[in-house]
Amino acid sequence: MVRVNILSKDEIVYGLEVKGHADFATSGKDLICAGVSCIITGGFNAFNKEDIEEITLEDGYAKVILKPGSESLKVLDTIIIQLQTIQEGYSKYIQIK
């Protein structure tokens, strides 16, 4: 299962951490993992480098922490909405907290 942890303080979102694999299908054919990977990779590429405090992107793991008040927080919101859309149809394979 892909586990997404939305990082926030005082109800203000500032980052996210994504761990695991969906196990929807075999490696190379897993559409859930492919979708999550595309959303995360594309989103991370859209961040302003100056807005990033911490960023990691590896197989089965991704994390980003953005500076408070940065313009890239809008991109982060978009990433979260896209992941929630996948969760709506495939909650057995992706969990967002």
pLDDT at 26: 84
Length of the chain: 97
pTM metric for this prediction: 0.93
pLDDT at 87: 97
Those residues of the chain that have pLDDT short of 70 are none
| Residue 46, Ramachandran bin (φ over 0: left; ψ between -120 and 50: alpha; else beta) | alpha
> Which sequence positions are flagged as catalytic?
21, 33
As a 3-state breakdown, the chain gives helix, strand, coil percent values, each rounded to 5, of 35, 35, 30
pLDDT at 90: 96
pLDDT at 66: 98
Q: Taking a C-beta distance cutoff of 8 angstroms, is the pair 66, 79 a contact?
A: no
pLDDT at 92: 96
Q: Give, in degrees to the nearest 5, the angle at Cα 30 between 27 and 35.
A: 130
